[in-house]
Amino acid sequence: MQDEEPREHLGEVLCEDCYLEALSPLRTCDPWAVHTARSLKDLPGGLTLTPRQQQLYDLVKEQGEVPKQEAARVLAVSEDELQREFAVLRHLEMLRACKKDEGIFLIPF
């Protein structure tokens, strides 16, 4: 934390980003987010994916299923960053995840 104002949460001192994440954790399965995404999709102009979200969607669409770790490696992002991008695509009902013996796979919705 250089220029950021430290925040205290549950006895820990956090940077602003970590503080916001602690207060509002990422939820991949969120019915309200799905409802909102559906509503926004129907608006004129619709929604635009970020380049990374588009890359993730294209990767899974081309391969049919991709292990979560492999998707993070291919996109050169951490698993936390991948989870954030995946959450948006899950809310848009474009991708979903399934658990197999070998781990978690991303698949088209």
Domains of the chain: 7-108 (1.10.10.10)
> What one-character-per-residue DSSP string does the chain give?
--SSPPEEETTEEE-HHHHHHHHS---SS-HHHHHHHHHHHTSTT-----HHHHHHHHHHHHHS-EEHHHHHHHHT--HHHHHHHHHHHHHTTSEEEEEETTEEEEEE-
Whole-angstrom distance, CA of residue 62 vs CA of residue 57: 9
Q: Is 104's pLDDT higher than 80?
A: yes
Q: Which residue has the higher pLDDT, 9 or 33?
A: 9
Q: Mean pLDDT over all residues of the chain?
A: 80
Whole-angstrom distance, CA of residue 23 vs CA of residue 73: 28
Mean pLDDT of 25-33: 60
Mean pLDDT of 77-90: 89
Q: Is 41's pLDDT higher than 80?
A: no
Q: Is 22's pLDDT higher than 80?
A: no
Whole-angstrom distance, CA of residue 106 vs CA of residue 109: 9
At 19, is the pLDDT very low, low, confident or very high (cuts 50, 70, 90)? Answer: low
